[in-house]
Structure 1
Amino acid sequence: MLILVTGATGKVGRRFIAGLLDDPRFSKARIRALCHNRLYEATDRVDVFQGSIADRDVVAKALDGVTHVVHLATCKETPEDIMDVTVKGLFWLLEEFRRSVTARQFILIGGDAGVGHFHYRHDGPITENARHCAYPGSYALSKVLEEVMLEQFGIQYGLNGCCLRAPWIMEKDDFKYSLSFGDDVFGGPDWKTLVPEEAARRYAAMGTVPLLLDADGRPLKRNFIHVDDLVSAILATIDNPRAERQLFNICMDRPVDYAEVAAYLLRTRNLDSVDIPSRFHSNWMDNSKAKYLLDWRPNYDLEMLIDSAWQYERSKEEPRIVWYPG
């Protein structure tokens, strides 16, 4: 088993490679890390290949002898790169994969941006049958195109592909900083822009957290997944016959409720909160299909997500670096 991992140096790539190498079920598996700007560390079971997936020759060479692909590489809101890297890059991967005599399974990590995230109102739980509805911007559009392209390669060529659709992925102290009113905020919304400047400075200094309200004025519910739970889902998908040509929502059992976050942080850490009105809509991704077909369960609930983020201590050798906004 030789697994090509794109985006190998990202938060999911690094955790996936480490998890697979430690898993006795995959003791004979080897990894080929396809890297672009940052390089993974080569070992006796990991070889490193450098180049861009936008280059067909690079992709062809990287896929030589590969049995599985775990495709993580993507772009955020970078219109100048997104068609070449995210869209054309996936096309070259799928084209070369379908021609390969060693290819067995292609796993794509998708995103809930493809179904509108919290930008659109949903009348019920978001299942895998929900229609695609990208919100404005190039990133969400690319998530739709990725899912459709993988699906069509399955229809056209019988390619054994699987898409794991994940919401916002958390690790280490990410969730703590996703609630910061300071310049160190991780992802969005950028809370300091939603309140007066003086208030933002005061909230940041006191550790006040935002209690986000939806378009109806109720506490907003938003989907998350911890990187460890996503990695366990990927491992459950590898060579699983029930995953063939399937799409799965991979998320926490319940969405994060900002009112519950505020109440828990007040009770456990004496942190105040402030209401933040928004035009966004609550949503609830349904992970029942992954539970049923993959026999997968997320470990992280709301309290575990909060506690792990607030308890995480970074060493001086591990500065908080945000490679992209979300």
Structure 2
Amino acid sequence: MLILVTGATGKVGRRFITGLLDEPKFSNARIRALCHNRMIEESDRIEVAKGSIADSAVVAAAMEGVTHVLHLATCKETPDDVMDVTVKGLFWLLEAFRLSPTARQFILIGGDAGIGHFFYRHDGPVTEKTPHRAYPGCYALSKVLEEVMLEQFAIQYGINSCCLRAPWIMEKDDFKFTLSFGDDVFGGPDWKSLVPPADAARYARDGTVPLLRDADGRPLKRNFVHVDDLVSAVLAAIDNPRAVGQLFNIAMDRPVDYGEVAAYLARTRGLGSVDISSEYHSNWMDNSKAKFLLDWRPVYDLEKLIDSAWEYQRSGEEPRIVWYPG
């Protein structure tokens, strides 16, 4: 088994490589990491291919002898790159995969941006049958195009494909910084821009967290997944006959409720909260299909997500780095 991993230096790629190499049933598996801007350390089971997935020759060379592909490489709100990397790159990968005599399975990590997550109202749980609806911006559009392209290649050429659709992926202390009123906020909303500057500075100093409310005035529910749970789903999908041609929602059992977050942090850490109104909509990704077909279960619930983020201690050699905008 030789697995080509794109986006291997990101949070999911690194954790997947560690998880795969540690899993006894994949003891004979090797990794080929396709790296562009950043590199990964090689070993007896890890080799590196260098170049951009937007280059068909690079992709063709990287696919030599590959049995499985885990496609993680993506762009955020970077219009200059998104079509080359996300659309053209995936096209070249799929073309090389379908023509390969060794290729057996193609796994794509999709995203809830493709169904609009909290930008649009959903009348019920978000399932794998929920229609694509990209919110404004190039990133959400790219996630729709990825899923549709993979689906069409399976229809056109009968390739063995699987898409694992993930919401916002957390690791280490990420979740703590999603709630920061400071310049160190991870992702969006940018809380400090929603309150007066003096209040933002005080909230950041005191560790106050936002209690985001949805368009109906209730605490907003938003989907997350921890990287460990996503990786366990990938490992469950590899060579699984029940994953052939399937799309799975891979998310926590319950979405994060900002009211429950505020209450838990007040009870366990004495932190205050402040209401933030919004026009966003609560939503709930249903992960039942993955549980049923992959026999997969997420380990992280709300309390574990919060506790692990607040208890994580970074060393001086591990500064927080956000590798992409948005």
Q: How does the TM-score come out when normalised to structure 2?
A: 1.00
For 1:146, the equivalent position in structure 2 comes to 146
The aligned amino acid for 1:124 is G
Question: 1:75, 1:82 within 8 Å by CA — same for their partners in 2?
Answer: yes
Q: Any stretches of 5+ residues in structure 2 without a counterpart?
A: none
The aligned amino acid for 2:184 is D
Query: Percent identity, aligned pairs only?
Result: 81
For 2:88, the equivalent position in structure 1 comes to 88
Q: Are positions 1:194 and 2:194 aligned together?
A: yes
For 1:41, the equivalent position in structure 2 comes to 41
> How far apart in 2 are the matches of 1:135 and 1:21?
37
Question: 1:178, 1:188 within 8 Å by CA — same for their partners in 2?
Answer: yes
Query: 1:73-125 CA distances to partner (integer Å, 9 max, x unpaired)?
Result: 00000011000110000000000000000000000000000000100000000
Shift of 1:245: 0.5
Shift of 1:322: 1.0
For 2:204, the equivalent position in structure 1 comes to 204
Query: 1:1-36 CA distances to partner (integer Å, 9 max, x unpaired)?
Result: 000000000000000000000000100000000001
The aligned amino acid for 1:18 is T
Question: 1:3, 1:30 within 8 Å by CA — same for their partners in 2?
Answer: yes
Query: 1:118-164 CA distances to partner (integer Å, 9 max, x unpaired)?
Result: 00000000000000000000000000000000000000000100000
Shift of 1:188: 0.3
The aligned amino acid for 1:90 is L
Matches for 1:39-188 after TM superposition, within 5 Å: 39-188=39-188
Shift of 1:324: 1.5
For 1:241, the equivalent position in structure 2 comes to 241
> How far apart in 2 are the matches of 1:8 and 1:126?
29
> How far apart in 1 are the matches of 2:324 and 2:259?
27
Query: 1:307-326 CA distances to partner (integer Å, 9 max, x unpaired)?
Result: 00000000001111111245
SS of match in other structure, 2:260: helix
Q: CA RMSD in A?
A: 0.5
> How far apart in 1 are the matches of 2:255 and 2:321?
26
> How far apart in 2 are the matches of 1:7 and 1:323?
11
> How far apart in 1 are the matches of 2:317 and 2:43?
22
> How far apart in 2 are the matches of 1:78 and 1:197?
28
For 1:322, the equivalent position in structure 2 comes to 322
For 1:222, the equivalent position in structure 2 comes to 222
Query: 1:206-241 CA distances to partner (integer Å, 9 max, x unpaired)?
Result: 000000000011000000000000000000000000
Q: Are positions 1:15 and 2:28 aligned together?
A: no
The aligned amino acid for 1:288 is S
The aligned amino acid for 2:246 is Q
> How far apart in 1 are the matches of 2:107 and 2:82?
20
Shift of 1:260: 0.2
Query: 1:269-295 CA distances to partner (integer Å, 9 max, x unpaired)?
Result: 000000000010000000000000000
SS of match in other structure, 1:309: helix
> How far apart in 1 are the matches of 2:140 and 2:16?
24
Q: Any stretches of 5+ residues in structure 1 without a counterpart?
A: none
The aligned amino acid for 1:222 is R
Question: 1:186, 1:325 within 8 Å by CA — same for their partners in 2?
Answer: no
SS of match in other structure, 1:307: helix
Runs of 4+ in 1 over 4 A off after TM superposition: none
SS of match in other structure, 2:180: coil
The aligned amino acid for 2:49 is F
The aligned amino acid for 2:190 is D
